[in-house]
Amino acid sequence: MTGTSTTTEVARGVSLVGAFASLVRFQHTVFALPFALAGALMAHQSWPPLSTLGWILLAMVGARSLAMALNRVIDAEIDAKNPRTAGRDLPSGRLTNTQVAVFCAISLAALLIAVSQLPRLTWFLWPIPVAGFVIYPYTKRFTWLCHLVLGVVIGLAPLGAWIAVSGHFAAAPVFLFLAVATWMFGFDVIYALMDVDFDRQHGIKSVPARFGAVKALRVTRVMHTLAVICLVVAGALAGSGPIYFVGVAVCAAVLVVENVVVDPADTVRIQAAFGTANGVLALVYIAFVILDVSVG
């Protein structure tokens, strides 16, 4: 009996870990973390101390986990009504609100510990992204500009990492922030294509629900064009070398493919455009930033 009980407890523990991993979608960290690392590397066009990178990583993990958990708690009622999201961990009962609240507290603690070890300015700035984490889920209830709010919140990652390394603001990370914000705006519009009918029926705001799929994809193309321009300007202001700009060109090509591939009527192609293409772009970008900094 003891062995059976132990096995059951282990299975429950593994299931709980899996539920939390599903809750925060760690695989989506690839969207923001590479740009945070890029901000850290571009601050001085060199590798910062490993300890600094470690604290930035902890801050990113804590912030990303807190953001996703808050989003799931705030949107739990909406998710339960949507057939596409009803199987998520809170609506399905795999996790309770209390468990997620504790997870939020731990994530916030990790963020605060990390920023306490970084330049003093980061300590005064951390409430800004946390406020964004709380505000963003509510914006889809009253404005189709919710995609912009998400972009702004995620765009703070490279700006914060730059400050964590340099200790001050500069023009280059502002354009890196704008690049991520517009890029995120564009591909979150693509993601919203999957819920157009549901959103219209339940009063959820989004660009596709407001303007239709065709116009929404035009908005995405504009945002992605702006993102590429901002990446170029950020590199120029930061003093990046030729390798960096080759990387931006590759990223631009990825965005072209993404916008060609997406089909509002095909969920599989939407997922490919949203998940695969943007994950590839983020990894390509940081790879070229690392190569540029290492060679330069």
**Mind listing the pLDDT tens digit for each residue in 74-85?**
999 999 999 999
Predicted confidence at residue 79, as pLDDT, reads: 94
pLDDT at 10 over 50: no
Q: Which fold has domain 28-295?
A: Tetracycline Repressor; domain 2 (1.10.357)
Q: What percent of the chain stands above pLDDT 70?
A: 90
Span 46-64, average pLDDT: 93
Q: How confident is the model over 183-193, as pLDDT tens digits?
A: 999 999 999 99
> Of the given ranges (19-28, 47-56, 119-128, 254-263), which has the lowest mean pLDDT?
19-28
DSSP 97-156: HHHHHHHHHHHHHHHHHHHHTS-HHHHHHTHHHHHHHHHHHHHTTT-TTHHHHHHHHHHH
Cα 159 to chain centroid, rounded: 14
pLDDT at 259 over 80: yes
Would you place residue 70 in the very low, low, confident or very high pLDDT band (cuts 50, 70, 90)?
very high
Best CA proximity match to 157, nearest among 137, 128, 139, 177: 177
Return the domain boundaries, the chain: 28-295
Span 256-279, average pLDDT: 83
Predicted confidence at residue 11, as pLDDT, reads: 46
Kindly give, in sequence order, each residue whose CB lies less than 8 Å from that of residue 48, ignoring residues fewer than 6 positions away. 40, 41, 165
Predicted confidence at residue 267, as pLDDT, reads: 77
Separation of alpha carbons 191 and 84, rounded Å: 12
Mean pLDDT of the chain: 89
Would you place residue 143 in the very low, low, confident or very high pLDDT band (cuts 50, 70, 90)?
very high
Residue type present at position 91? P
Span 89-108, average pLDDT: 92
Predicted confidence at residue 196, as pLDDT, reads: 94
